[in-house]
């Protein structure tokens, strides 16, 4: 049985927090909100507890976890040889949606880092996550609280849909404010390598530490191993997602043609579209039964799109569509993370 506890997102009740902290200290699994997505937490220094995370998620042991800290003062517990640039970045960006990859300390069990010499660390900004970290007094290893390969959860309902009966507790503080996971930056390399675009835009990172290298370019340049766990196809909905790239008008035309062709084949089509596109698509296609629209909000509202994206993908699955059509958006700011998640959800990119 998984217990679900409602908790205020801004001033979490101390008794709920201490119950959750107690569960963690006894080796249990607690799902909790962060500012990005819900995490599935265990005491990072307890090997058996960490092993339970992998079992609950059916996550391969080769995919390392992020360690969450209450404050950057705790960095020396989990990391060593911390470069000055990483310190600087941690001071400026934490608490917040940025994960730094650093050399690990001996205290971190190999299960957490999938045997790597490095560890991924962040201090989350959500009041519930911070209260839980402070009350438990241990670093918390927490991947996103979904079954492996599924979309990350932005609500406690999403967590339960994937993990009910497999974890001890979920703290339900409502939808998470950002909706996409943290940016992951490898600080063991110079210049730093952006392994995963996320809640902290690349531009904001570069404003603090100068140019960073995009993962694919680092791999191409020196043959470095890509980050484990960053497989191309990941956030996969059940439906086949087709991502259309390129200029807006031809992309919309392509979506209309694809939708028509799928309807001729008798397949239920989902359209994951910004409001700006929706009108045009609807007037070209009509809006009768076999089409399901899910709006992401206005194209200029990147924060709104990020917040809605994963829930919209899950809703389209619930609506039992067989194909989802989406269009790649401009990649500035949060657009880089949004497009990355769309690409990794896609069965086909056109």
CB of 32 to ligand TXA, least distance (A): 8
Pairwise CA distance, residues 160 & 60, whole Å: 21
Q: Which of residues 129-188 bind ligand TXA (CB under 6 A)?
A: 142-144, 181-182, 184
- In this structure, are strands 79-80 and 98-104 parallel, antiparallel, or unpaired? antiparallel
Asked if 79 interacts with ligand TXA (CB under 6 A), we say: no
CB of 285 to ligand TXA, least distance (A): 35
Total residue length of the chain: 350
CB of 172 to ligand TXA, least distance (A): 15
Q: How many CB atoms lie within 10 A of CB 329?
A: 21
Instruction: Fill in the per-residue mask, 181 to 220: x = in contact with ligand TXA (CB under 6 A), - = not in contact.
Output: xx-x----------x-------------------------
**Helix, strand, or coil (residue 55):** helix
Among 144, 155, 183, 227, binds Mg ion (CB under 5 A): 144
Asked if 227 interacts with ligand TXA (CB under 6 A), we say: yes
Cross-strand bridge partners of residue 249: none
Pairwise CA distance, residues 102 & 202, whole Å: 19
What strands lie across the sheet with 323-327, from one edge to the other? 291-295, 269-273, 323-327, 240-244, 348-349
CB of 142 to ligand TXA, least distance (A): 5
Asked if 72 interacts with ligand TXA (CB under 6 A), we say: no
- Tell me if 292 sits within 8 A of 316, measured CB to CB: yes
The 8-class DSSP code of residue 120 comes to E
Q: Which stretch binds Mg ion (CB under 5 A): 68-76, 136-144, 170-178, 321-329?
A: 136-144
Pairwise CA distance, residues 126 & 221, whole Å: 37
- In this structure, are strands 3-6 and 169-172 parallel, antiparallel, or unpaired? parallel
CB of 242 to ligand TXA, least distance (A): 24
Among 17, 98, 119, 242, binds ligand TXA (CB under 6 A): 119
| Closer residue to Mg ion, CB minimum distance, 40 or 325 | 40
- Tell me if 38 sits within 8 A of 161, measured CB to CB: no
**Percentages of the chain per state (helix, strand, coil), in multiples of 5:** 40, 20, 40
Instruction: Fill in the per-residue mask, 87 to 126: x = in contact with Mg ion (CB under 5 A), - = not in contact.
Output: ----------------------------------------
Pairwise CA distance, residues 204 & 329, whole Å: 19
CB of 198 to ligand TXA, least distance (A): 6
Among 53, 120, 133, 241, binds ligand TXA (CB under 6 A): 120
Q: Which is nearest to 82 in space by CA: 43, 137, 119? A: 119
- CA distances from residue 69 to 120, 123, 150, 162, 273 in whole angstroms, order as listed: 11, 5, 25, 25, 37
Q: Which of residues 27-66 bind ligand TXA (CB under 6 A)?
A: 34, 36-37, 39, 63-66
CB of 304 to ligand TXA, least distance (A): 18
| Closer residue to Mg ion, CB minimum distance, 72 or 144 | 144
Binding site residues, Mg ion, CB under 5 A: 144
Binding site residues, ligand TXA, CB under 6 A: 34, 36-37, 39, 63-66, 99, 101, 113, 116, 118-120, 124, 142-144, 181-182, 184, 195, 227-230
């Amino acid at each position: 049985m998984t217990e679900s506890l409602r908790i205020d997102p801004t001033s979490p009740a101390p008794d709920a927090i201490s119950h959750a902290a107690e569960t963690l200290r006894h080796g249990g699994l607690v799902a909790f909100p962060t500012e990005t997505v819900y995490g599935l937490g265990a005491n990072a220094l307890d090997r058996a507890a960490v092993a339970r995370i992998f079992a609950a998620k059916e996550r391969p042991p080769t995919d390392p976890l992020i360690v969450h800290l209450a404050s950057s003062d705790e960095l020396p517990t989990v990391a060593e040889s911390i470069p000055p640039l990483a310190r600087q970045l941690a001071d400026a960006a934490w608490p917040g949606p940025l994960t730094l990859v650093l050399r690990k300390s001996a205290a971190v069990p190999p299960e957490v880092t999938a045997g790597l010499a490095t560890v991924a660390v962040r201090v989350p900004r959500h009041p519930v996550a911070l209260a839980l970290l402070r009350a438990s007094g241990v670093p918390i290893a927490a991947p996103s609280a979904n079954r492996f390969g599924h979309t990350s959860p932005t609500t406690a309902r999403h967590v339960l849909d994937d993990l009910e009966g497999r974890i001890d507790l979920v703290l339900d503080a409502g939808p998470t404010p950002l909706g996409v996971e943290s940016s992951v930056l490898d600080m063991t390399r110079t210049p730093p390598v952006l392994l995963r675009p996320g809640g902290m835009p690349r531009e904001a990172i570069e404003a603090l530490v100068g140019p960073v290298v995009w993962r694919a370019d680092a791999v191409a340049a020196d043959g470095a191993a890509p980050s484990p766990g960053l497989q191309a196809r990941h956030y996969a909905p059940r439906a086949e997602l087709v991502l259309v790239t390129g200029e807006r008008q031809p992309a919309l035309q392509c979506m209309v043609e694809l939708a028509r062709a799928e309807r001729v084949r008798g397949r239920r089509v989902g359209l994951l579209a910004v409001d700006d596109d929706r009108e045009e698509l609807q007037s070209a296609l009509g809006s009768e039964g076999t089409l399901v629209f899910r709006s992401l909000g206005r194209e200029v509202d990147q924060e709104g799109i990020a917040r809605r994206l994963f829930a919209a993908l899950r809703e389209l699955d619930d609506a039992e569509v067989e194909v989802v059509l989406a269009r790649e958006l401009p990649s500035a700011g949060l657009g880089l993370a949004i497009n990355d998640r769309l690409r990794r959800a896609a069965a086909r990119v056109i």
